[in-house]
C-alpha cells in the first residue's frame, strides 16, 4: 500500500514538472547559467569590429554579432570617458557621480596630492619588485600613485559581482583579469579577486587585499615566465599589406614611436633585458594573448563554472587602447591588432565552451570607452580639429588679469587633470574671496580659449544653474562633489590634449562626444536568440540586466534599466 502511494505521488510530481516546463514556469531555474563571462575591450568604439568583419573568422566577434543580442546604439552616459570610469560604470550600473570613480586620476584635497584611482597603501603587492616601474611605464596616470598598494576601496557602491557573491553567500567564484590593474580591480569588485600584469617584472600580480599569498597555480604560471616567449621576436602582420584597409598607410605622421618600438611593421620587442620590453608587449596583441593565457589557467585551476552556483569572470583586453593611443584607431597597427584580437576572443570562447559550455555561459561584451581619430586625419575631410595645450593657461593675459583682480600672486590653477581644473582654494580662502565667484569668472575666461566648447563651475552644477541639455546631463552624471574639480572643461569635438606626461600620442579619449561614448553592448551564449536592437541604451543598463537575469539584488547605486530582450528567452 505504501509502495503504491509512493508510485502515484512520484508520477504526479513528474507530470507536474512536465506541465510547468511546458508553461515555461521552470525555465528560469533550468537556464540559470554556470558562468557570467564579462568581456571588456578597452577603447573599442562600436563601429570598429564590423569595419573589419569580412577578414574575421567564425568564433570571435562574428559569433557574438551573429548569435547574440546586439544593441546597436549603446553609449556611456557620462562625460569623462576614461578606463576606470567606464569599467566601474559597467561593473556597478551606476553613473560616476554615484560610484565615485570620476577619472583615472583626481586631486585629493585632503592629502593635497593627485590620486591614482585604485591606489591603497594599506594593501601592498604580493610580488616583490612588481610595483610600477616609472622608467618603463607609458601610462602616466599610474605615475601619480604614491604607493604600490591596490584595492577597490575607492569604489563607493557595490558591483554586480559583489551582489552575486552576497546572493550566494560567497559561494560564487568571482575574478577579474586584465593587463591593467584598474580594469581588473573594478570588475572584480570588493568581493572578488583581481589579477593584472606587472610591466616591472612581466608577471601577473595581485595585492594583499585579495590574498595573503598566491594560490599555487599563480606561482606556477609566473614561474614559466610567459612574457619571455616574445623575447627577440616582433609584432608581425597577419596578412600581406595589400589585404588590409590601411595596408598602404603604415607610417602616418601623427603616429608615435615609443622607446624605439617604431611606426612601421615589424615592431621588434627586443631582448628581455630591454628597458621597454614588457611595455612593448602591452603596445601590441601580445598583451591580450598574455591575458588570455592567464585567464585559461585561472578557469582550469579555480574550477570555474563546474557546479550549480553561477560564477563570474571578467576578462578585460587592454591592447586596443594602447594601440589606439600610439597609432590611432584608423591605422594599420589598429587594424591588425583587432584582427588578432578576434582570434584571441575565438580561442577564449572555444576554451569556455570546452570547459563550461557556451550554452551554460552568459556572455556580455562591451567597452570602457571609444576613441577619436587623430586631428590631422580628420582635417583631411574638411573638419576643423587640433590638439590642445593647456600648459600655458595659467600664464595667459586673461588669467593673469584675474589674478591681479583677485590679488592672487601664486598660481590660480592648482591642478589640471582633464576634464577637471582644481583651483587653489587655500589661496582663495586666505584672500577672503568668494570661491563661487572665482569659479564662475575663471570658467567664463576659459571659454574664450581656442578649442574650449564649454566650461562650467562646480557651484553651478551643484546648484542646478545650468541649461537642460544632453551635454549637461552627461556632465552632471560624472560630477562627484568630493572628487570632481572646481571647473569642468569640455573641448570642442575632435579637439583634445595629446600629451601624456611628456609622451606625445596620436589620440586621447575622455570626452562626451559620440566617438568616445559609442561602444558595443552584446549579450550571447546561454541559448540566447540572435537579435538586433536599435533603440538607444546606456552602459549602466548592463549590470542591472545581469542582476535581473539571476534574480540578484541590483548593485547599491545602480542607475540602469533592465534590457528586456536579454530576459525574453528565459
CA–CA dist 455, 300 (Å, integer): 51
CA–CA dist 76, 177 (Å, integer): 22
Catalytic residue among 26, 32, 40, 83: 83
Mean pLDDT (the chain) is: 91
Q: How many CB atoms lie within 10 A of CB 5?
A: 9
Q: φ, ψ for residue 531 (rounded to 5)?
A: -165, 145
pLDDT at 498: 81
> Helical H runs in 232-284?
277-282
Task: Kindly state the average pLDDT of the residues 356-385.
Answer: 97
Could you name the CATH architecture of 386-492? 2-Layer Sandwich (3.30)
Could you name the CATH architecture of 31-102+116-379+524-567? 3-Layer(aba) Sandwich (3.40)
Peptide bond before 170: cis, by omega within 30 degrees of 0? no
| 406: confidence class by pLDDT, cuts 50, 70, 90 | confident
Is the fold of 31-102+116-379+524-567 the same as that of 386-492?
no
- How much is the pTM? 0.93
Q: Identify the H or E element spanning 415.
A: strand 413-417
> How far is C-alpha 391 from the geometric centre of its chain's CA atoms?
27
83 assigned to active site:
yes
- Contact between 486 and 421 (Cβ < 8 Å): yes
Tens-digit pLDDT profile for residues 67-96: 999 999 999 999 999 999 999 999 999 999
Tens-digit pLDDT profile for residues 114-169: 999 999 999 999 987 766 554 445 676 677 888 889 999 999 999 999 999 999 99
Tens-digit pLDDT profile for residues 203-257: 999 999 999 999 999 999 999 999 999 999 999 999 999 999 999 999 999 999 9
**Side-chain half-sphere exposure of 191, counting CA atoms within 13 A:** 24
CA distances from 30 to 21, 219, 371 (A): 9, 38, 40
The domain locations on the chain are 31-102+116-379+524-567, 386-492
pLDDT at 29: 38
CA–CA dist 500, 497 (Å, integer): 8
Amino acid at each position: 500500500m505504501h509502495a503504491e502511494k509512493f508510485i502515484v505521488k512520484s508520477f504526479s510530481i513528474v507530470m507536474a514538472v512536465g506541465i510547468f516546463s511546458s508553461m515555461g514556469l521552470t525555465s528560469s531555474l533550468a537556464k540559470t547559467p554556470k558562468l557570467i563571462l564579462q568581456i571588456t575591450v578597452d577603447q573599442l568604439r562600436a563601429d570598429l569590429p564590423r569595419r573589419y568583419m569580412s577578414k574575421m573568422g567564425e568564433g570571435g566577434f562574428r559569433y557574438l554579432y551573429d548569435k547574440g543580442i546586439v544593441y546597436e546604439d549603446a553609449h556611456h552616459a557620462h562625460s569623462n570617458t576614461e578606463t576606470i570610469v567606464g569599467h566601474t560604470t559597467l561593473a556597478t550600473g551606476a553613473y560616476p557621480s554615484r560610484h565615485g570613480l570620476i577619472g583615472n586620476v583626481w586631486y585629493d584635497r585632503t592629502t593635497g596630492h593627485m590620486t591614482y584611482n585604485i591606489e591603497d597603501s594599506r594593501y601592498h603587492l604580493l610580488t616583490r619588485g612588481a610595483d610600477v616601474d616609472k622608467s618603463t611605464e607609458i601610462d602616466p596616470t599610474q605615475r601619480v600613485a604614491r604607493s604600490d598598494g591596490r584595492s577597490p576601496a575607492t569604489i563607493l557602491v557595490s558591483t554586480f559581482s559583489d551582489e552575486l557573491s552576497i546572493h550566494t553567500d560567497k559561494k560564487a567564484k568571482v575574478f577579474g583579469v586584465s593587463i591593467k590593474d584598474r580594469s581588473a580591480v573594478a570588475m572584480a569588485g570588493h568581493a572578488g579577486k583581481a589579477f593584472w600584469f606587472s610591466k616591472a617584472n612581466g608577471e601577473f600580480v595581485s595585492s594583499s587585499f585579495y590574498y595573503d599569498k598566491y594560490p599555487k597555480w599563480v606561482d606556477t604560471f609566473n614561474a614559466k615566465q610567459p612574457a619571455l616567449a616574445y623575447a627577440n621576436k616582433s609584432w608581425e602582420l597577419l596578412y600581406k599589406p595589400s589585404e588590409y584597409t590601411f595596408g598602404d598607410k603604415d607610417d602616418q605622421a601623427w603616429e608615435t614611436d615609443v622607446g624605439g618600438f617604431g611606426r612601421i611593421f615589424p615592431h621588434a620587442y627586443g631582448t628581455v633585458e630591454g628597458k621597454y620590453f614588457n611595455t612593448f608587449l602591452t603596445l601590441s596583441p601580445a598583451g591580450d594573448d598574455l591575458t588570455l593565457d592567464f585567464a585559461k589557467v585561472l578557469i582550469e585551476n579555480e574550477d570555474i563554472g563546474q557546479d550549480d552556483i553561477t560564477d563570474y569572470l571578467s576578462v578585460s583586453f587592454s591592447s586596443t587602447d594602447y594601440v589606439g593611443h600610439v597609432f590611432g584607431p584608423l591605422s594599420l597597427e589598429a587594424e591588425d591588432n583587432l584582427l588578432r584580437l578576434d582570434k584571441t576572443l575565438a580561442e577564449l570562447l572555444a576554451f569556455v565552451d570546452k570547459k563550461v559550455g557556451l550554452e551554460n555561459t552568459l556572455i556580455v561584451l562591451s567597452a570602457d570607452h571609444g576613441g577619436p581619430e587623430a586631428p590631422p586625419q580628420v582635417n583631411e575631410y574638411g573638419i576643423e580639429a587640433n590638439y590642445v595645450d593647456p600648459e600655458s593657461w595659467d600664464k595667459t593675459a586673461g588669467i593673469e588679469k584675474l589674478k591681479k583682480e583677485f590679488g592672487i600672486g601664486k598660481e590660480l590653477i592648482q591642478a589640471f587633470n582633464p576634464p577637471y581644473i582644481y583651483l587653489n582654494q587655500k589661496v582663495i580662502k586666505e584672500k577672503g574671496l568668494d570661491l563661487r565667484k572665482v569659479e564662475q569668472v575663471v570658467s567664463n575666461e576659459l571659454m574664450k580659449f581656442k578649442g574650449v566648447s564649454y566650461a562650467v563651475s562646480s557651484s553651478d552644477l551643484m546648484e542646478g544653474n545650468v541649461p537642460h541639455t544632453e551635454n549637461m546631463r552627461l556632465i552632471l552624471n560624472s560630477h562627484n562633489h568630493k572628487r570632481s574639480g572646481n571647473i569642468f572643461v569640455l573641448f570642442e569635438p575632435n579637439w583634445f590634449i595629446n600629451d601624456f606626461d611628456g609622451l606625445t600620442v596620436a589620440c586621447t579619449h575622455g570626452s562626451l562626444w559620440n566617438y568616445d561614448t559609442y561602444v558595443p553592448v552584446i549579450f550571447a551564449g546561454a541559448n540566447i536568440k540572435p537579435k538586433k536592437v536599435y533603440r538607444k541604451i546606456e552602459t549602466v543598463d548592463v549590470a542591472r540586466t545581469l542582476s535581473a537575469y539571476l534574480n540578484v539584488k541590483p548593485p547599491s547605486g545602480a542607475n540602469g534599466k533592465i534590457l528586456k530582450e536579454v530576459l525574453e528567452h528565459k
